[in-house]
A and B are shown apart, each in its own frame.
Chain A
Amino acid sequence: QLQLQESGPGLVKPSETLSVTCTVSGGSISSSSSYYWGWIRQPPGKGLEWIGTIYYSGSTYYNPSLTSRLTISVDTSKNQFSLRLSSVTAADTAVYYCARRGVTRYFDYWGQGTLVTVSS
């Protein structure tokens, strides 16, 4: 059974960089050409926002509203992919989810999410 697990700092100061890593178990991140890996976030009490998606080769595409601050990377040797968001503000406070993106552009496996709070 495929499992995804996010790990993050919990608390980040304004203007600093937020980093979250997703560890995939129960399957290889590079085992199938059909799957991409994505990040989605959810501010407390609000809806879902797609952040970006990466292929195991390193190919990425990002939400245009976050592109200037965002880097998503993959480490196939560790079966992980990561998110870095720079110059954070309180508006970046959210639960950050990692997920697997299936063939027809749906997200079928999700991590449990990690809450990242931006505050001084």
Chain B
Amino acid sequence: EIVLTQSPGTLSLSPGERATLSCRASQSVSSTYLAWYQQKPGQAPRLVIYSASNRATGIPDRFSGSGSGTDFTLTISRLEPEDFAVYYCQQFGTSPPMYTFGQGTKLEIK
């Protein structure tokens, strides 16, 4: 089973700043099967990035994803007030076939 470790656990930044969130896998992950989600309190997760670098429908271009192998990054270029939330990475692995999520990074207003 592939384990995803996100860092930092909490990131405190101000609106307008750049956010860099990390997701590290315990073994190599296919970029095709790496996604990022945003979750606000009391809401369901919202898909932000799929296949490591593709923005989901309706996601602004200040969000970008990159990475390959075991290291992936979600970058928010200029934080807006609505971006403060918890972010999860997720991967699909084939042996065994299953999905795993990282433990999340909380992006909070400084």
Contact = CB atoms under 8 A, between A and B. Distances in A.
A105 B91 CA distance: 8
A50 B98 contact: yes
Contacts of A106: 35, 47, 50-51, 56, 90
A105 B44 contact: no
A107 B103 contact: no
Interface residues of A, number: 21
B98 A64 contact: yes
A106 to B, nearest CB: 4
B90 to A, nearest CB: 7
B97 A61 contact: yes
B87 to A, nearest CB: 11
A104 B98 contact: no
23 contacts: A47-B88, A47-B104, A48-B90, A50-B100, A53-B99, A61-B97, A61-B98, A64-B1, A64-B96, A64-B98, A104-B33, A104-B51, A105-B32, A105-B35, A106-B47, A106-B51, A106-B90, A107-B45, A107-B90, A108-B57, A110-B45, A112-B43, A112-B44
Interface of A: 38, 40, 47-50, 53, 61, 63-64, 97, 102, 104-108, 110-113
Interface of B: 1, 32-33, 35, 37, 43-47, 50-51, 56-57, 88, 90, 92, 96-104
Give the 3 A-B residue pairs with the shortest CB-CB distance, closest first: A105-B92, A50-B99, A110-B44
